[in-house]
Structure 1
Amino acid sequence: ERMNDYKLEEDPVTKERTFKRFAPRKGDKIYKEFKKFYFYSDAYRPLKFACETIIEEYEDEIFSLIAQEADDLADKLCSEKSGSGGGLLDSPHP
C-alpha cells in the first residue's frame, strides 16, 4: 500500500492520533476516478517514520521469519514437484 493513501487524524476529545485510510482500494467503484488525481503531502511522513522504526527495531526477527518461510516453501515445493507425500528436505538423501 502507498503510505500517502493514509492521513494522520487526531481525536478532538482524547487527542489520540491514528492513521486512517482515505484512498479507495483497487476493487472499489471509485478507484479509477480517484487515481486520476495526484496528491502530494508530507502528512504521510509520520507513518513512514513509524514503519521504518518498527522494521529497524525488529529487523532480526523479520529476517528470521522470512528465512523460515523460505525454508518451508522450498520443502513444500520439493515435495509437490517430486510427488512424494513427505518433505524431501526432512529425509536423508542417498
Structure 2
Amino acid sequence: MNDYNLHVDPETQEKSYKRFAPRDGEQIGAIDFNNFQFNADTSNYLKFVCESVVEKHEDEILSLIAQEADSLAGKLCSEKTGFCQVSSHSEL
C-alpha cells in the first residue's frame, strides 16, 4: 500500500487511489505527481480498509478460490463486494 496515494483527475476532479510507483521490472508511463495528494497516513488507511474488506468477505473469497473461478479478481471486485464499477478511465 505504500505505492498508492490519492489521485485527483485534473479534468473530472474524480478522486481515486492509484499506484504511483512501479513494481519490479514494470514500466509506468509518465506520471504527473501534481495530481497526487501525498499523505503519510494514506498507506495505513488503505491497508486497514483492504484488511477490513477481506475480513468481511472471507467466506466469499474462499468459496471463489475453492471453485477455481475464472476472472477471480473481477468477480471479487464487482459481483461479491460491489466495490468496483466498470469505468473507461479506471486504473487501479
Range of TM-score over shorter length:
0.3 to 0.5
Structure (1/2) with the larger helix percentage:
1
Higher relative contact order (CA 8 A, sep 6+): 2
TM (normalized to structure 1)?
0.45
Q: Which has the larger radius of gyration?
A: 1
